[in-house]
Amino acid sequence: MTTASLSLYEKRKGVYPKAVDGFYRRLKWAVMAVTLAIYWITPWLRWDRGPYAPDQAVLIDLAHRRFYMFAIEIWPHEFYYVAGLLVMAGVGLFLVTSAVGRAWCGYACPQTVWTDLYQHVERWMDGDRNAQIRLDRAPWTAGKIARRVAKWSVWLVIAFGTGGAWIFYFADAPTLQHQFWTGTAASVAYATVAVLTATTFILGGFMREQVCIYMCPWPRIQTAMLDEKSLVVTYKHWRGERRGSLKKAQAQPDAFGDCIDCDQCVAVCPTGIDIRQGPQIGCITCALCIDACDKVMGQVGRPRGLIDYCTEDDANAEKAGRAPRPVLRSLLHVRTLVYLTLWSAVGAAMLFALGTRTRMDISAQQDRNPVAMRLSDGTIRNAFTVKLRNMESRPRPMRVTVEGLAGVSLWTDRDGRADARAAIDTVVPPDSVAKLRLFLAAPAHGPLRQDFAFTVRATDREGGADREPAHFERLQ
Amino acid sequence: MADPTKSKIDEPTGTPTMGHEWDGIEELDTPLPRWWLWTFYACILFSLGYVIAYPAWPLIEGYTKGALGWSSRGDLAKEMATQAAKVAPIHRAIAATPIDQLPARPALMQAAVDGGRAAFKVHCVQCHGSGAAGSKGYPNLNDDDWLWGGDLATIEKTIVDGIRNPDHAATRLSIMPAFGRDQLLQAAQVDDVVAHVRTISGQQRGDAASQRGAQLFADNCAVCHGPAGKGNRQLGAPNLTDGIWLYGGDGDSLHQTVWNSRQGVMPRWGDRLDAATVRMLAAYVHSLGGGEAAPVMAVDNVAGEASDARP
Q: What would the pLDDT profile of A251-281 be if each residue is shown by its tens digit?
A: 888 889 999 999 999 999 999 999 999 988 8
**DSSP code of A368?**
-
ipTM given for this complex: 0.75
Strands B25-28 and B17-22: antiparallel
Task: Name the amino acid, one letter, at B82.
Answer: T
Interface contact B135, partner A, CB < 8 A: no
Q: Residue A412 pLDDT > 70, yes or no? A: yes
Q: Residue B300 pLDDT > 50, yes or no? A: no
Averaged pLDDT, B219-241: 94
With cut-offs at 50, 70 and 90, classify the pLDDT of residue B305: very low
pLDDT score, position A253: 82
pLDDT score, position A414: 77
- A169-176's contacts with Cβ under 8 Å and 24+ in sequence apart are A169/A42, A169/A43, A169/A58, A169/A59, A169/A60, A170/A59, A170/A60, A170/A61, A170/A62, A171/A59, A171/A61, A171/A63, A172/A54, A172/A56, A172/A59, A173/A43, A173/A44, A173/A56, A174/A44
Altogether, the residues listed in chain A come to a count of 476
Per DSSP, the three-state class of A380 is: strand
Out of A137-146, B152-161, B205-214, B286-295, pick the least confident. B286-295
With cut-offs at 50, 70 and 90, classify the pLDDT of residue A226: confident
pLDDT score, position A25: 96
Share of chain A above pLDDT 70, in %: 98
Give chain A positions within 8 Å (CB) of B144.
Answer: 375-376, 417
Separation CA B283–CA B111 (nearest Å):
9
Separation CA A218–CA A224 (nearest Å):
10
List Cα–Cα distances, A190 to A172, A176, A387, B168, B256, in angstroms: 15, 11, 37, 62, 74
Separation CA B242–CA B230 (nearest Å):
8
Residue A301 sits at the vertex; the CA angle it makes with A297 and A240, to the nearest 5 degrees, is 45
pLDDT score, position B296: 63
Helix H or strand E segment including A167:
none
pLDDT score, position B121: 96
CA distance A362 to chain B (A): 22
Q: What would the pLDDT profile of B94-145 be if each residue is shown by its tens digit?
A: 999 999 999 999 999 999 999 999 999 999 999 999 999 999 999 999 999 9
Helix H or strand E segment including A403:
strand A396-403
With cut-offs at 50, 70 and 90, classify the pLDDT of residue B10: confident
Which of B105, B135, B144 to probe by mutation at the A interface, max A CB count within 10 Å?
B144
pLDDT score, position B5: 54
With cut-offs at 50, 70 and 90, classify the pLDDT of residue A415: confident
Of the CA atoms within 13 Å of residue A385, those in its CB half-sphere come to 8
Nearest to A376 among B14, B242, B287 (CB): B242
With cut-offs at 50, 70 and 90, classify the pLDDT of residue A55: very high
Average pLDDT, whole number, for chain B? 89
Averaged pLDDT, A14-41: 95
Interface contact B243, partner A, CB < 8 A: yes
Separation CA A173–CA A44 (nearest Å):
6
Contacts of A189 by beta carbon, 8 Å cutoff, 6+ apart? A167, A171, A176, A179, A180
Q: What would the pLDDT profile of A243-259 be if each residue is shown by its tens digit?
A: 888 888 888 888 899 99
Separation CA A242–CA A239 (nearest Å):
8
With an 8 Å Cβ cutoff, are A4 and B289 in contact? no
Query: CA-nearest residue of chain A to B291?
Result: A416
Task: Name the amino acid, one letter, at A361.
Answer: D
Chain B from 290 to 309: CB within 8 A of any A CB = 290-293
Averaged pLDDT, B21-27: 87
Residue A227 sits at the vertex; the CA angle it makes with A223 and A231, to the nearest 5 degrees, is 85
Averaged pLDDT, A296-321: 91
Identify whether the C-beta of residue A400 lies closer than 8 Å to the C-beta of residue A456. yes
CA-based nearest residue to A163, from A180, A150, A149 = A180
With cut-offs at 50, 70 and 90, classify the pLDDT of residue A1: very low
Number of H helices, E strands in chain B: 11, 2
Interface contact B189, partner A, CB < 8 A: no
With cut-offs at 50, 70 and 90, classify the pLDDT of residue A183: very high
Share of chain A above pLDDT 90, in %: 68
With cut-offs at 50, 70 and 90, classify the pLDDT of residue A101: confident
Separation CA A396–CA A426 (nearest Å):
8
Q: What would the pLDDT profile of B247-289 be if each residue is shown by its tens digit?
A: 999 999 999 999 999 999 999 999 999 999 999 999 999 999 8
Query: CA-nearest residue of chain A to B13?
Result: A4
With an 8 Å Cβ cutoff, are B242 and A378 in contact? yes
Give chain B positions within 8 Å (CB) of A373.
Answer: 133, 140, 142-143
Cβ burial of B113 (10 Å; 0-12, 13-18, 19+) is: buried
pLDDT score, position A7: 58
pLDDT score, position A9: 64
Out of A103-117, A287-301, B2-16, pick the least confident. B2-16
Of the CA atoms within 13 Å of residue A463, those in its CB half-sphere come to 0
With an 8 Å Cβ cutoff, are B291 and A416 in contact? yes
Average pLDDT, whole number, for chain A? 91
pLDDT score, position A326: 78
Query: CA-nearest residue of chain B to A418?
Result: B292
With cut-offs at 50, 70 and 90, classify the pLDDT of residue B7: low
Strands A465-473 and A449-458: antiparallel
With cut-offs at 50, 70 and 90, classify the pLDDT of residue B294: confident
CA-derived radius of gyration, chain A: 33
Residue A349 sits at the vertex; the CA angle it makes with A346 and A353, to the nearest 5 degrees, is 140
Nearest to B144 among A367, A375, A383 (CB): A375
Identify whether the C-beta of residue A297 lies closer than 8 Å to the C-beta of residue A309. no
Averaged pLDDT, A168-197: 95
Q: What would the pLDDT profile of B52-111 be if each residue is shown by its tens digit?
A: 999 999 999 999 999 999 999 999 999 999 999 999 999 999 999 999 999 999 999 999
With cut-offs at 50, 70 and 90, classify the pLDDT of residue B308: very low
Averaged pLDDT, A118-140: 94
Contacts of A97 by beta carbon, 8 Å cutoff, 6+ apart? A103, A104, A222, A225, A226, A230
Helix H or strand E segment including A131:
helix A129-137
pTM: 0.70
Strands A307-310 and A360-366: unpaired
pLDDT score, position B16: 87
